[in-house]
Amino acid sequence: GEALAVSARVAPLGSRLVLLLVEDLTEARRIEAVRRDFVANVSHELKTPVGALSLLSEAVMDASDDPEAVQRFAGRMQIEATRLTNLVQELIDLSRVQNDDPLEDAEPVRVDELVAEAMDRCRHAAGTKQITMASNVWAPEGSEQGGGRRAGGTTDLSIWGNRGQLAAALGNLVENAVNYSPARTRVGIAARRVSAPGGDLVEIAVTDQGIGISDKDKERIFERFYRVDPARSRATGGTGLGLAIVKHVAASHGGEVTVWSSEGQGSTFTLRLPEAGTARDRAQQQPDLD
Ligand code: ADP
């Protein structure tokens, strides 16, 4: 509606200019709407644990002569406080990946280290559900980059990027795989080099045997605060921000994240990111523009 009004007002101008103006204003409005939604979502997400904390502290005061009840309420307060801390931490992470140029302090980041770090981060959660985690970092022998062949068939496979952001992205994917899987299942992380027209890529696939994601939800899970099942996500300490962070990190590194899933069978999230040697070589080949 508003876009139409704008086009009517600027109609006397050249048609191309009109189109540009309209597009510009619609884009500005869209960004504004996204921002408003985001603030509303953040406020809502903050209000929930804060409200719970407030009620629980009243309950503690009322139950001061019942030590057992006090214990119980205090335990729940701790859960809500943890939720609040997670949310604030994820908001900070999200704003960081959105605002910082990840390639400003880019370096070759070893994939086997990233994978080990992501698995360490989830070891406790996986252990309590008896979920087995297995990884396979592999780069075929004789491919041009990497060199340094090591025992067990693993060569040096590295991504050109920001270590902290890459660790956050992969950590989130492995964490989700564990969170959205039933007990005694398997989470696999497989990394390999694939060639692509723009240069070699590192492909990291995180596969689970979990609840899966419907086609309808697949389109939305990368949005901030979108959760298929909010109650389940909250129960595992989820904030709905994880995949938004993953998507941002992938895009800002010149890569992508995709999902394959079958409901009730499991999911595979795949990150494709520029391989270290390739990206650096490309940057060095670029003419100096100053
Ligand atoms: P959350 O903090 O809720 O995990 P994410 O942004 O990481 O937020 O994920 C968004 C939603 O996508 C989750 O709430 C969940 O419904 C769904 N999801 C993410 N990863 C998986 C997975 N491996 N299996 C099934 N569902 C998943």
pLDDT tens digits along 80-95: 999 899 899 889 888 8
Q: Tell me the CA–centroid distance for residue 241 and ligand 1, in Å.
A: 9
| pTM of the complete model | 0.80
Mean pLDDT: which of 100-104, 147-151, 165-169, 235-239 is highest? 165-169
Answer for the pair 277, 109: CB distance below 8 angstroms, yes or no.
no
The span from the CA of 206 to the CA of 267, in Å, is 8
Most ligand 1 atoms within 8 A of CB, residue of 38, 121, 180, 257 to mutate = 180
The pLDDT, as a whole number, for residue 114 is 96
- Both tokens of 275, joined, read 């391989």
Q: Tell me the CA–centroid distance for residue 240 and ligand 1, in Å.
A: 7
Which residues are CB-neighbours of 23 under 8 A, at least 6 positions away?
none
Most ligand 1 atoms within 8 A of CB, residue of 220, 227, 232 to mutate = 227
The pocket around ligand 1, CB under 6 angstroms, is made up of: 172, 176-177, 180, 208, 210-213, 221, 226-229, 233, 238-244, 267
The pLDDT, as a whole number, for residue 20 is 75
**Exposure of 124 by Cβ count < 10 A (0-12 exposed, 13-18 middle, 19+ buried)?**
exposed
Answer for the pair 86, 237: CB distance below 8 angstroms, yes or no.
yes
Of 49, 26, 41, the residue nearest 223 (C-alpha)? 41
Is the pLDDT at 191 greater than 70, yes or no?
yes
Hey, what amino acid is at 201?
A: L
Q: Tell me the CA–centroid distance for residue 209 and ligand 1, in Å.
A: 14
Q: Tell me the CA–centroid distance for residue 283 and ligand 1, in Å.
A: 35
The span from the CA of 221 to the CA of 212, in Å, is 12
The span from the CA of 71 to the CA of 81, in Å, is 15
| Concatenated DSSP letters of 198-219 | TS-EEEEEEEE-SS---HHHHT
Is the pLDDT at 30 greater than 50, yes or no?
yes
Is the pLDDT at 147 greater than 50, yes or no?
no
Report the percent of the chain where pLDDT is more than 70: 85
The pLDDT, as a whole number, for residue 134 is 96
The pLDDT, as a whole number, for residue 288 is 47
pLDDT tens for residues 106-137?
A: 999 999 999 999 999 999 999 999 999 999 99
pLDDT band for position 155 (cuts 50, 70, 90): low
Helix (H, G, I), strand (E, B) or coil at 260: strand
Is the pLDDT at 8 greater than 60, yes or no?
no
- Both tokens of 101, joined, read 């140029």
Arithmetic mean of pLDDT, 178-198: 94
Q: Whose CA is nearest to atom 4 of ligand 1?
A: 238
